[in-house]
Structure 1
Amino acid sequence: MKFSEKWLRELVNPEIDTQGLVDQITMAGLEVDEIESVASDFSGVVVGEILLAEQHPNADKLQVCKVSDGNEEFQVVCGAPNARAGLKTAFAKVGAVLPGPDGKDFKIKKAKLRQVESLGMLCAEDELGMSEDHGGIMELAADAPVGACLREYLDLNDKIIDVDLTPNRGDCLSITGLAREVGVLNKAPVSFIEAEAVAPAIDDTFEVVLEAPQACPRYVGRVIRNVNVKAATPRWMVDKLARSGIRSIDPVVDVTNYVLLELGQPMHAFDLNKLSGNIVVRMAQQEEPLTLLDGQEVKLNEDTLVIADGSGPVAMAGIFGGEATGVTTDSTDIFLESAFFDPIAIAGRARSFGLHTDSSHRFERGVDWQLQRKAIERATALLLDIVGGDAGPVTEAVSEADLPSDRQVILRHAKVNSLLAFEMPAEEIEEILTRLGLQLESTAAGVWTVSVPAYRFDISIEVDLIEELARVYGYNNLPVRTPKASMPLKPNQESLVTVQQIRRNLIAQGYQEAITYSFIEAGLQKKFDDQYEAVALANPISAEMAVMRTSIWPGLVKALQYNQNRQQSRIRLFETGQRFLPNGEEMIQENVIAGVVCGGRDPEGWTAGKTQVDFFDVKAHVESLLALGGAGDDFRFVAQKHVALHPGQSAQIERQGEVVGYIGALHPSLQADLGLNGNVYLFELRLDLVQQGRLPRFSELSKFPESRRDLAVIVDESQSFEAVRQCAAEHAGEFLNEVTLFDVYQGQGIEVGRKSLALGLTWQHPSRTLNEEEISGAIDSVISALGKELGATLRE
């Protein structure tokens, strides 16, 4: 919004210069984009009156004028087509300094034009840097004082300030709103505009019906008859409009624009004699036509609020008037309107038609819903002074139930001090908010109930009030405090295996880390997990990303498929991330690590073999991970089926009764469905159980020799070595160091369905040498236990 500094200072005049004012406004959150002078620097220019204008004897397009400065008469040669006797204009006398077109000033001197002496220059607006208008010399008002300094007469020492307001500060889209802000910031008195009620001279009214009260809960109107639209708009009003970026059109339009800038209330005037029936505020019908004031014809939408009469729409409410009922120089009777439109009803409507007007700009941000009557009284008084006429009574159509309600916000002194980080005195809080137009009532110690004025749509909660306090107090005045926090060193859990260690281990084994989406396709999810029903997304990006994964495998296998389709044969990928397991109405987010392997056991090379990776290669990779924390013996691999794994090559990994995860070959049918080449092996482990290690402890090395005994036992071929190892370890005594499997045999001499396991058992005492009786007793105990618990027999 552009505004004249002089106009602002008519309402509030703090003792600061222009730059100080601009800095202050910017620091208050109303950023200033630009400052420009109303006119360029010049001197020696006065109000002159042309007494005589005659044809130049030697030039068809020049005139010889006699110009008075109030004391003397001067001969001036002028080429402007509008130079004429009786015109008051800008007269640059000999010695005046004017701005040049190249940025350099030049001085007016005596000159001869076609052999005729010229003692000065009659100036156009562009020659004084006031505008780009060069259609002729300036035409001043008939009552302009001859000889007066032009700069002083036209207030050309004024500055135009362009403020870029944020959308929440619609209350500052007027000179009154800006004056209120400047007054608050400087503790200066503000001369607010008073609009006394204009006594009606006639009884004429025009009926208004609200058919869309939610969108327009208040509509104020007034009939004014016998106006003279051909009257001239006062120079002071034209200048103020121009310095706010609005061109003067006619006195009626100028007054409505002036009130818009002065109070912030958009208004519109209809030619009363062009209206039929009554005014109806309603929603438009789809494709209903309307020709706007600029001649553009639009097809309205059902969500567009319109002002209509008996013939149809006559204006887009809050946006643009219609051409058919617009005021012209022939108009004699007008209907003046001032309405409140709900911001939601106006927001976006102008843009949908490629429009942006001063009215829509304000209504979209919110206009004071108590301002309409004051605005129409102010506009009426101005119109009667300029165009004359007889005003009727003010009529108002209102839906009280649909008007915004008065807002009250609770403000706590403690909360203010907490957020602003210093003790703001209660008296200062009350003073700032009162100057902002808010009303405070103390309801308890350190607690206020704050009534918010109708023009502050942006204040609705406590922090809004605190922001106002900080803004007015001055952001640059708030204390600067370094944040303090207790930051003790986190204890280093020596027994914890970090994710970084796990990653490094897998990378050292030839894996590459992958990151896949947490959302996967529902059908693929079911193929990899039949235990959990995946949580579906309410608004999925696509069908391939419709549910939250309960396993990382689907994403890794898709990544493997992607790489195989691009001629990659040896692939080792791993990923750490979360899987999402439904648990009633809740969802468990569990951190896991998973991997996928296929292709050759070794990287391609002239020394590498052609052997493909198998189940035991991947098992070795996993065992390497599990051993990182020094607790590898806690984990067991138990044959177990899984929907996504090969029935004969799958195992469940357990730790002290808890399921850690699964390992195995991808199920052949699933492999075929996905079109994968070669055998694919997978593993997935719970990170929390893998990361739990053992704190290492030192034990003194024994200086006494070890004792080893070998024995071969025959067990069922389905029996695992792990079961045999555990049974032997439990019954071999406390000094057993190790149980080793060094041979497995099936064949001649072993009955069908059985197998021979050759075990090496090693003992060592820390303080002496074990004797033969102790070793033999331990061996007998192991053989007996294996026979009882596992049905094992000693091989002869």
Structure 2
Amino acid sequence: MKFSENWLRSHVPTSANRDGLAATLTAIGLEVEEVTALGDGLTGVVVARIVEAARHPEADRLQVCQVDVGGDAPAPDRYLQIVCGAPNARPGLVAPLAMVGSSVGGIAIKAAKLRGVESNGMLCSARELGLDADASGLLELPADAPVGAQLADYLGLPDASIEIKLTPNRADCFSVRGIAYDVAAALASEVVPLDVAPVPAQGAAAMEVALEAGERVPRFAGRVIEGVDATAPTPVWMAERLRRAGVRPISFLVDVTQYVMLELGQPMHAFDRDKLEAPVVVRPARADERLKLLDGREAVLDGEFLVVSDSRGGRAARAVALGGIMGGEDTKVGDATRNVFLEAAHWIPSAIIGRSRRLGLHTDAGHRFERGVDPELPRMAVEYATRLILDVAGGVPGPLTEAALAEHLPRPTAIGLRRARVARVLGIEIADAEIERILRALGMQVAAAADGWQVTPPSRRFDIAIEEDLIEELARIHGYDRVPTTVPGGPARIAAPSEIRLAETDIRRQLVARDYLEAIGFAFVETALLDKWHSAAGTVPLANPLSAELAVMRPRLLPGLVDALARNAARQAGRVRLFELGRTFAEADPAQRAPGGPDPAPVETRRIAAVACGDAHAEQWGEATRRVDFHDIKGDLESLAAAAGAILEFRASAEPFGHPGRSADVHRIDLEGGPVRIGWIGQLHPRLQKALDLDVDVVAFELDLAPLERRALPRAEALSRFPAVRRDLAFVVGMDVAWAALAASARAAAGPVLRDLLLFDRYQGPGVESGCKSLAMGLILQDNARTLTDQDADAVVERVVAELGRHHGARIRG
């Protein structure tokens, strides 16, 4: 929300300076993001009119202007000669003039000669004055601006544009008056009453309104004003307040609706009455109904959208506005408009949430209605806008028409606030008088009760529903800095870390030692990104996403982590190694739903993922450069598994995002109950890398964290005093036989005397038949009680050979 400092001060008088006001806003939860000073130090800058403009004799792009600066002297004597290079300098233009002796943008203005022609001042652009970023020409002022007046006085300067960051629950502060109540409470001031007296009808023209959307639109107010002058210029004071709030003035009738929205918080729309046919109907859109919007786009609607329609072609036949979001092109006001229909309605948040995003729109009206607008504002907004239009553009107002569904309008409810509860929650005593002052300053009705107060919040405060909400308001306004910090007392229970679980800190430390950096990603991702990963099935959608790019909860860590890698790679980071520990989310099994009960909560899974691309090692002179590959990241994973004492097995994977032949499913085989699949490792599929616009090969892994963390309880054992025996065996097996499968069978056959199993050679070529390979393994055998004999070792070898032959068709290589 952006607004003018002077505009706010007109609603809440305060002696606080600009810095103090900004600090107060931040302290009460309305975080100030930016303060832009406007018009400081404009002494000596006056309103002037160009009387004559002639071409400079020595420069094609310069003009020699005679400028009227006002005063009591006769016309020729009050003219100044100014050399100007602005393309819009012309006779009759009213623009700011910096007089000799003034200072603009830190530059002292002096009399000078430009290409031999005297110049006694400087005509200024908005950028040179620090009022706007526009430097395309002179700042054009209204033709009736008082020549000779100080520009600062005419434009209401100095001022500042203040931008605050609002949390979603503070929809009431999407208006200057909403902010004013908070400032008044914090600075012990009072909000200036706003006189919005009803405008008496001077004509009979009216538009019948019908509400056919039920609780979604419980109130709609409108008024016809005939005979307005649509070409009337927007008053300078209004135009400047709009500019300083980030809204560029368009035309008076449009600017009035914007002004009322910013001041009161109620979005409005102005229709050309002559382009409407009564009655006006508020209804759900029809399937595939089309509406051309004010921005020129055609929206294709369905029953989830609400529209305002007129009865041209039959009752409610034609949609003329997209409810709560944007008006339609066919009925917009223009310079030829003579009769206006003003409307202000109350659209409940659930009727608007997500609709703008579906159409790729973002409007100020939709932004406000999604968060909630005061249901009591529509009538006041129409009355206020009517008064502004009559004062500037004239016209004959008709009666205000209001349609309301009283049963669907929220009713104020008193909330009990206990004196003892305030002290218990905040830990401090706040005087009763101060509590009542704060609550009343915030616009609440306060009535004394035996143990405290009965408080009725204003209709604009949707966020106040329970006693703790009121206590939060007291803490916010009284000052969080005035709540003392108290160290908790009492005995503390120290939880000892589990010895059968690898701590997350140890996992992080292990990966950092392997040259990875930790990344922290959003728990939300874009559906289109998951489609590229073939991972969109079973995802958990958000009811009200922050944006279309964050529409579903992530089912995997890898899409977001690879996206982070891609961002780094696109910024010339040649070697990227990232890991993340986080939670993933999936829909629960519908079968878990109890009869008549709510849907089961989504399933959350703790996972760990890592990605790498570029060189396998950091650049250095002693080692040849090579690219990271599957075996590098497999080694990183195995080092992580070793910290938990886990034995992993890798089996060919069918994951669609994995490279065929360079990816595997990861199983942990030392858990009770046999091998358990815990994740995936490998290189990304070339098609996926192309879809993600990656021009480097990416290797990655993602595992469930819980089974990886489990480790056996450490047990101290004495080292064997007896020598180890080694037996080397070379087997010929089919190409489709995996080493992991052979190793598992060999361990099972060898028994407890097997201390280690090594794969030290893989051969394929002469001496080994086609379609087969030779794998050479070393069996390290040792007993704790005695020295193993040759007969003992041979018995183990015989069992291993028999087991591998029986289950894998392996035979000893000749």
Q: TM-score, normalised by structure 2?
A: 0.61
Q: Deviations over 1:661-699 (max 9, x none)?
A: xxxxxxxxxxx9xx999xxxxxxxxxxxxxxxxxxxxxx
Q: Deviations over 1:56-110 (max 9, x none)?
A: 45555543322232343211223444434444321122233222xxxxx333333
**Paired position in structure 2 for 1:53:** 53
**Paired position in structure 2 for 1:690:** none
Q: Deviations over 1:494-525 (max 9, x none)?
A: xxxx985999xxxxxxxxxxxxxxxxxxxxxx
Q: Deviations over 1:697-740 (max 9, x none)?
A: xxxxxxxxxxxxxxxxxxxxxxxxxxxxxxxxxxxxxxxxxxxx
Letter in 1 for 2:24: Q
Q: Deviations over 1:586-637 (max 9, x none)?
A: xxxxxx9999xxxxxx9995179999889x989xxxxxxxxxxxxxxxxxxx
**Paired position in structure 1 for 2:491:** 486
8 Å Cα contact 1:40/1:130 also seen in 2:
no
**Paired position in structure 2 for 1:313:** 319
Letter in 2 for 1:45: V
Letter in 2 for 1:296: R
| Superposition pairs of residues 555-570 of structure 1, within 5 angstroms | 562=649
**Paired position in structure 2 for 1:2:** 2
Among 405, 418, 429, the residue aligned to 2:411: 405
Q: Deviations over 1:236-288 (max 9, x none)?
A: 00000000001111111111111001111110010011112321101111221
User: How far is the alpha carbon of 1:356 from its aligned partner?
Assistant: 1.0
Letter in 1 for 2:488: P
**Paired position in structure 2 for 1:458:** 463
Distance 1:224 1:240 in 2: 25
User: How far is the alpha carbon of 1:148 from its aligned partner?
Assistant: 2.6
Distance 2:723 2:4 in 1: 80
1:606 lines up with 2:725 in the alignment: yes
Classify 1:561/1:327 alpha carbon distance in 2 versus 1 (closer, same or farther; 3 Å): same
Distance 1:3 1:255 in 2: 16
| Superposition pairs of residues 316-395 of structure 1, within 5 angstroms | 316-395=322-401
Q: Deviations over 1:525-574 (max 9, x none)?
A: xxxxxxxxx997446989x99xxxxxxxxxxxxx9895799999997556
**Paired position in structure 1 for 2:162:** 161
In structure 1, list runs of 5 or more residues that go unmatched: 100-104, 493-497, 504-533, 546-558, 576-591, 596-601, 619-671, 678-796
1:476 lines up with 2:595 in the alignment: no
Distance 2:279 2:665 in 1: 79
Letter in 2 for 1:128: L
8 Å Cα contact 2:104/2:129 also seen in 1:
yes
Letter in 2 for 1:477: R
| Superposition pairs of residues 8-23 of structure 1, within 5 angstroms | 8-23=8-23
8 Å Cα contact 1:43/1:98 also seen in 2:
no
In structure 2, list runs of 5 or more residues that go unmatched: 72-77, 313-317, 503-588, 594-599, 607-645, 653-663, 674-709, 714-719, 730-745, 754-802, 809-814
8 Å Cα contact 1:242/1:248 also seen in 2:
yes
Distance 1:39 1:380 in 2: 32
Distance 2:40 2:86 in 1: 21
User: How far is the alpha carbon of 1:40 from its aligned partner?
Assistant: 6.5
Classify 1:563/1:574 alpha carbon distance in 2 versus 1 (closer, same or farther; 3 Å): farther
8 Å Cα contact 2:343/2:382 also seen in 1:
yes
Letter in 2 for 1:146: V
Distance 2:725 2:58 in 1: 106
8 Å Cα contact 1:574/1:594 also seen in 2:
no
**Paired position in structure 2 for 1:66:** 66
User: How far is the alpha carbon of 1:454 from its aligned partner?
Assistant: 0.3
Letter in 2 for 1:450: V
Classify 1:572/1:327 alpha carbon distance in 2 versus 1 (closer, same or farther; 3 Å): closer
**Paired position in structure 1 for 2:437:** 431
**Paired position in structure 1 for 2:661:** none
| Superposition pairs of residues 62-141 of structure 1, within 5 angstroms | 62-71=62-71, 72-99=78-105, 105-141=106-142
1:25 lines up with 2:144 in the alignment: no
**Paired position in structure 1 for 2:240:** 239
Distance 2:57 2:665 in 1: 96
8 Å Cα contact 2:648/2:666 also seen in 1:
no
**Paired position in structure 1 for 2:558:** none
User: How far is the alpha carbon of 1:131 from its aligned partner?
Assistant: 1.7
Secondary structure class of the residue paired with 2:414: strand
User: How far is the alpha carbon of 1:213 from its aligned partner?
Assistant: 2.1
User: How far is the alpha carbon of 1:128 from its aligned partner?
Assistant: 1.8
Between the two proteins, the alignment pairs up a number of residues equal to 546
Secondary structure class of the residue paired with 1:314: strand
User: How far is the alpha carbon of 1:488 from its aligned partner?
Assistant: 8.0
Distance 1:604 1:563 in 2: 32
**Paired position in structure 2 for 1:38:** 38
**Paired position in structure 2 for 1:147:** 148
Secondary structure class of the residue paired with 2:381: helix
| Superposition pairs of residues 388-787 of structure 1, within 5 angstroms | 388-444=394-450, 446-487=451-492, 500=499, 537-538=592-593, 562=649, 573=671, 605-606=724-725
Distance 2:602 2:668 in 1: 32
**Paired position in structure 2 for 1:654:** none
Distance 1:570 1:479 in 2: 52
8 Å Cα contact 1:564/1:676 also seen in 2:
no
Distance 1:352 1:246 in 2: 24
8 Å Cα contact 1:561/1:676 also seen in 2:
no
Q: Deviations over 1:277-305 (max 9, x none)?
A: 32110111122111101111110121001
Q: TM-score, normalised by structure 1?
A: 0.63
Classify 1:484/1:60 alpha carbon distance in 2 versus 1 (closer, same or farther; 3 Å): same
User: How far is the alpha carbon of 1:119 from its aligned partner?
Assistant: 1.7
User: How far is the alpha carbon of 1:313 from its aligned partner?
Assistant: 0.9
Distance 2:256 2:367 in 1: 18
Distance 1:608 1:119 in 2: 103
Letter in 1 for 2:139: M
User: How far is the alpha carbon of 1:52 from its aligned partner?
Assistant: 3.3
Distance 1:326 1:192 in 2: 33
Secondary structure class of the residue paired with 2:269: strand
**Paired position in structure 2 for 1:645:** none
Q: Deviations over 1:123-165 (max 9, x none)?
A: 2222222223234322323443333322233233111110011
8 Å Cα contact 1:176/1:192 also seen in 2:
no
Classify 1:366/1:676 alpha carbon distance in 2 versus 1 (closer, same or farther; 3 Å): farther
Distance 1:399 1:252 in 2: 29
Distance 1:485 1:540 in 2: 36
Distance 2:102 2:483 in 1: 50
Secondary structure class of the residue paired with 2:45: strand
**Paired position in structure 1 for 2:229:** 228
| Superposition pairs of residues 262-341 of structure 1, within 5 angstroms | 262-311=263-312, 312-341=318-347
Secondary structure class of the residue paired with 2:113: strand
Letter in 1 for 2:254: V
| Superposition pairs of residues 184-203 of structure 1, within 5 angstroms | 184-203=185-204
Classify 1:487/1:131 alpha carbon distance in 2 versus 1 (closer, same or farther; 3 Å): closer
Secondary structure class of the residue paired with 1:433: helix
Secondary structure class of the residue paired with 2:100: strand
Distance 2:371 2:153 in 1: 37
Letter in 1 for 2:387: A
Distance 1:129 1:427 in 2: 45
Distance 1:540 1:473 in 2: 39
User: How far is the alpha carbon of 1:406 from its aligned partner?
Assistant: 1.8
Letter in 2 for 1:468: E
8 Å Cα contact 2:649/2:667 also seen in 1:
no
8 Å Cα contact 2:372/2:462 also seen in 1:
yes
